[in-house]
Amino acid sequence: MELTVVIPSFGLVALLQACLTQLEVSIANARLDRFAIIVTDNGSGIPYSDEQFHCDHLRIVRTDRRVSFSRACNLGAAAQPADHYLFLNNDILLHPRALDDMMHLIAEPNVGICGARLVYPDETIQHCGIRMTSDDRAARHEFHGRASRGVSRTVRSFQAVTGAALLIRGDLFMRLGGFDEVYPFGYEDTDLCLRARLTGCTITCSQAIDSIHFESTSNKDPLRHTASRKVFMHRWAGRFSVDDRDET
């Protein structure tokens, strides 16, 4: 089984190195036959160099200017085709067993995408699946901000998971044409998941262990999702089911 990990990254060399260090441990525990790590240097002011990072199997793909998250992910995936792709933010510290659990889940019949349970450093939930809602946001992270110890670890299906740590079958990713680059920032992951569901596949999320997500270290603009939300609603309004699960 072959895996390509794609990490879009802008600056933040020390944080990226921490991400890579944890990733290598998680890859080793998953006992993969073949893997590659592609970092898409998304127009960093000082370009990344191989000498900056202590990481085997690393390849850097450089963009001359900053591009969208979708474009950075697609460029990284195109650089190393594989049976599976793991798209990973540079501000995530994967748990040593996270990838192994995700790989087991995606091996289940009809599962096309698997997300990861992510927590903030204070061990509250950042992501454990996405709920589709009837309000203007359309998609919300389930149990966001709740203490992880109080949130069920039962594995179930979702309509979408975050692209911050998203594992997808390679054939499915190619069939979908990758992330849609029409999205400036945000909602490209939810769009990908909804399009994947239209093919008949299932989306799930690893819940067994928690990985740390610092979130939004490269872009703290509170309005950063506005343009993409408009694109998403124009395309998907009325075309997804509204989740009515009770979070209380």
Domain extent at residue 32? 2-236
At 67, which CATH number?
3.90.550.10
Cα separation, 232 vs 89, whole angstroms: 21
CB 172 within 8 A of CB 201: yes
Residue 134 located in a structural domain: yes
pLDDT at 238: 81
State both tokens at 34: 């073949």
Residue 242 located in a structural domain: no
Residue 215 located in a structural domain: yes
Residue 244 located in a structural domain: no
DSSP state of 33: S
CB 134 within 8 A of CB 242: yes
Q: What is the value of pTM for the model shown? A: 0.94
CA 40 to each of CA 97, 147, 168, 241: distance values in angstroms, whole numbers, following the listed order: 25, 33, 18, 34
Residue 47 located in a structural domain: yes
Residue 153 located in a structural domain: yes
pLDDT at 114: 98
Strand partners, 62: 41
Residue 173 located in a structural domain: yes
Q: Which residues contact 77 (CB under 8 A, 6 or more apart)?
A: 4, 6, 38, 85, 173, 178
Per-residue pLDDT of the chain (248 residues; tens, 9 = 90+): 699 999 999 999 999 999 999 999 999 999 998 999 999 999 999 999 988 898 888 999 999 999 999 999 999 999 999 999 999 999 999 999 999 999 999 999 999 999 999 999 999 999 999 999 888 788 899 999 999 999 999 999 999 999 999 999 999 999 999 999 999 989 999 999 999 999 999 999 999 999 999 986 555 556 677 889 899 998 898 888 888 655 44
Tally of domains in the chain:
1
DSSP-derived pairing of the beta strands 111-119 and 165-169: antiparallel
Say which amino acid occupies 176: L
pLDDT at 222: 60
pLDDT at 217: 56
Residue 246 located in a structural domain: no
Say which amino acid occupies 105: L
